[in-house]
Amino acid sequence: MEASVARFAAMGTRVELHLFGRAAPDALTAARDAVLAVEDSLTLRRESPAVALNRVLAAGGEAVVADPLLWEALLAVDAMWQATRGLFDPCVGNGVPARDLRDGVSAPHKPVPRRTPGPSWVGLGGSCETFPTWTPASAGVEREGEETISRQRFSSDDVAGVASSSRPPSPLGPGLRRGTGAHGASDTAPLPRWTALTIDRATRRVAAARPLALDFGGFGKGYALDRAVAALRPAGVASAFLSAGESSIAVVGEHPLGGGWPLAIPHPEIDGVWLTELELSDASLSVSSTVGAGAAKPGRAAMVRPSDGAIVTRRATAVAVAASGAAAEALSTALLVAEAADAARLRAEAPDRRFLFSHDAPRRADRPMELTA
């Protein structure tokens, strides 16, 4: 079976698009362009529609959102904020003076050309590179250089491992990360919650009741894969495997050899141990964790619960499967920051698609807790 693959840097990570079977000749290019278009709209690394909006929101103002991808992202975030009852909240700014917040969004990191080898996206997604271990047959293509697009034959015996990725710190200041309020609770400033935003769907006007900013790092990778999938379907692609940082996955159709796409989620700290194994068809998956190599990197901000600004101290990994990548990203974040009762509620709504694994040892125990979902 013919296979096509594109590998390129986007959103501060490595994106891989694997297509199987016959499709329009420009299908791979269209999917790649869709991912880069999302980066251009939502990045905080350089001037973008998201940075322009944050500049207004940091002053407690209002703006009309003309960029279609940013507007669609805002509506998707709003839907997931409601679906998670506020557990997924991309607002940041608590504990940062309004002036500093405005300065942070008006002067982001030094501009970086989109297609340089270095990261060009403030991707504060999962705090750990905990990835599904399946990599398509085309993983054997030469990886040198920033970007490769190739076509090859597919063999069921040609399977390779995966590589890790990294993400830069947020230009919005230390301690600010996606899906959270801030570095910690503040006694003097209200939490920068999504409820402070007013979204007028008729006029596409967005207003902030108090200074805040939006960080799409915990949402953007899944959303970008959604846009790539949307570009592939009209091109006749019936089977595809898409990865952004390998902690965000989207699959189109079934595996080229039949059946669902088999994925194994490895333990972030114990080699050779799987947290769970899944089979996906026309679905997306997101993995978020507070432990592992990614969480231990210097400058990595703590995960914070949006409801009260408390730092999440438990060691856990969340896995979420959903129809869209944006929803999967929001759900994995929500599971990780939720208190026990809220996490149980989220899991009960789809127990075979939402998982929360504890890595904490029980009190007074001399060995790690056994894996539980």
Q: What is the pLDDT of residues 262-313, one digit of tens each?
A: 999 999 888 888 999 999 999 999 999 887 765 555 555 566 677 666 677 7
Residue 171 has pLDDT above 90, yes or no: no
263 or 151, greater pLDDT? 263
- Which is it for the CA torsion 319, 320, 325, 330, positive or negative? negative
**Which residue segments constitute the domains of the chain, with CATH numbers given?**
2-358 (3.10.520.10)
Q: Which residue is listed with tokens 């999440």?
A: 312
CA 124 to chain centre: 8
Residue 128 has pLDDT above 70, yes or no: no
Confidence of residue 172 (pLDDT cuts 50, 70, 90): very low
315 or 150, greater pLDDT? 315
Residues of the chain with pLDDT > 90, as a percent, come to 50
Radius of gyration of the chain (CA): 20
On whether the pTM is more than 0.85, the answer is no
Q: Average pLDDT of 141-159?
A: 32
DSSP state of 84: T
What mean pLDDT is reported for the chain?
75
The values of phi and psi at residue 239, to 5°, are -150, 120
Contact between residue 222 and residue 32 where contact means Cβ atoms under 8 Å apart: no
Q: Is 58 exposed, middle or buried (0-12, 13-18, 19+ CB in 10 A)?
A: buried
Q: Which two tokens stand for residue 146?
A: 């920033």
Taking alpha carbons only, the member of 86, 81, 71, 69 closest to residue 33 is: 69
DSSP state of 168: P
User: How far, in Å, CA of 18 to CA of 76, rounded?
Assistant: 26
